[in-house]
Amino acid sequence: MKAIFAALAACFVSSAALAEDFPSRQVTIVVPYSAGGVTDTYVRKLQPELQKRWGQTIIVENKPGSGSLLGAMDVASADPDGYTILVTAYGVISNEVLMPEAPFELSDLSPVYMLGRGSNMLIMRPDYPMDGIEEITAWAKEHPGELKLASSGVGASPHIAAELWASKVGVDYLHIPYQGSAPSRLDVMAGRVDGMMDGVSSVSYVRSGDIKAIAIAAEERHPSLPDVPTFREAGIDFVFGTIFGVYVAKDTPQAVQDEIYAAFDEAANVPEVHEMFVTQGLDATHRTQAEFKEIVAQELVQLEGLVEEGRLTPQ
């Protein structure tokens, strides 16, 4: 018993010292999605830059499962020393609201660095009779439950985006979930559903004319799609996109968190990496850790609002 106390005390004393020479050994970055996904691609781009700064081996561990819960749980329960880092997309936030029974709380993690925010855009089938967002909204209001919007899955960003839009403008639509964005986009192209709140990555299909882009849920128009208006331009205050962020276990010393923040900030701002984020449609504005925490908190409030309205059903 004494030994344990002694060890604990030693830990507290040495945590400050530890922070200074962090990292002194191999660092593991947990990606809660399979290799090859968007998040994984980003991490693998960042990995060499982080390795350069830290002079330590960085292992990227893919831990897919339960919509990012498995990987997140792993990091939350790891030693809070900064050697196990989580990089994840929106699932970690939406699961908190959608799966309250899961043995994991978002508060077990500390948000450190926000890589960026994507933006969803409303795409419609090529033969859809209307082109303007006002027109579509008006039609959807008159025909509740008739506008068919696809999504890449329950709780995924296209679903949340559609619910948010519907809640903002006060319409009811028919949600048709798919497994992944490729099959849902295909049914939009084939005209089986009316549209979808897709990510900006579908830009190549807009160019080829296979789908039409109606409006984008961003602050500003997207450089690759200068003709597509934002929802705000149409008077709908709707900005939404998935959030790519870096998290560690909540009790990690602040000094270590600061170093992780600085390292990711440096890596993400290497021109080549930054450019990739921008072309992928990511809003990679510089944000402090406090701002990131605030954004996560706001996101939770927004999701809980959808649950209260009965638009999302927690499991």
Partner 1 sequence: MDSILSNALMGLEVALMPTNLWFCFLGVFLGTILGVIPGIGVLVAISLLFPITFHIEPVAALVMLGGIYYGTTYGGSTSSILLNVPGTPSSAVACLDGYPMAQKGRAGTALFMTTVASFFGGTVGIIALMGFSPMIAASALKFGSAEYFGLMVLGLVAASTIASGSMFKGIAMVLIGILMGLVGSDVYTGTLRFTFGQMALFEGISIIALAMGIFGVSEVITSIRSVKRAGNADHDITFRAMLPTRAEMRASWMPMIRGSAIGSFFGALPGTGGLIASYMSYATEKRIGRAEEFGKGAIQGVTGPESANNAADQTAFIPTLTLGIPGSPTMAIILGVLIIHGIEPGPMVLVNQPDLFWGLVMSFWVGNLMLLVLNIPMVGLWVRLLKIPFHLMYPAILMFIVMGVLTTYNNVIQVWVLLLLGAFGYVLRYLGFQAAPLILGFVLGPMMEEHFRRTLMLSGGDFGAFFDSAISQVCLGSAVALVLYGLYVSFSGRARRGKAGEAVNEG
* Residues lying near partner 1 in the complex (CB under 8 A): 34-38, 40-41, 44, 61-67, 69-70, 73, 98-99, 102-103, 148, 153-155, 174, 176-179, 182-183, 186-187, 189-190, 192-193, 201, 204-205, 208, 210, 313, 315
Return the number of the residue (255 or 276) whose C-beta is nearest partner 1: 276
Q: How far apart are CA 180 and CA 23, in angstroms?
A: 37
Longest dimension (CA), the chain: 76
Return the number of the residue (100 or 132) whose C-beta is nearest partner 1: 100
Q: How far apart are CA 217 and CA 226, in angstroms?
A: 14
Q: How many other CB atoms sit within 10 Å of the CB of residue 61?
A: 15
301 burial (CB, 10 Å; 0-12 / 13-18 / 19+) is exposed
Are 245 and 115 in contact, with CB atoms under 8 Å apart?
Answer: yes
**CB 254 → partner 1: shortest distance, Å?**
29
Return the number of the residue (51 or 201) whose C-beta is nearest partner 1: 201
**CB 139 → partner 1: shortest distance, Å?**
18
Cite the DSSP H helix spans in 133-253.
Answer: 133-142, 157-169, 181-189, 203-207
Bridge partners for 130 per DSSP: none
**CB 204 → partner 1: shortest distance, Å?**
5
Return the number of the residue (111 or 199) whose C-beta is nearest partner 1: 199
Return the number of the residue (206 or 296) whose C-beta is nearest partner 1: 206
Return the number of the residue (21 or 308) whose C-beta is nearest partner 1: 308
**CB 286 → partner 1: shortest distance, Å?**
25
**CB 179 → partner 1: shortest distance, Å?**
6
**CB 5 → partner 1: shortest distance, Å?**
32
Q: In what order do the strands lie in the sheet with 58-62?
A: 58-62, 27-31, 84-88, 243-249, 109-117
Amino acid in the structure at residue 14: S
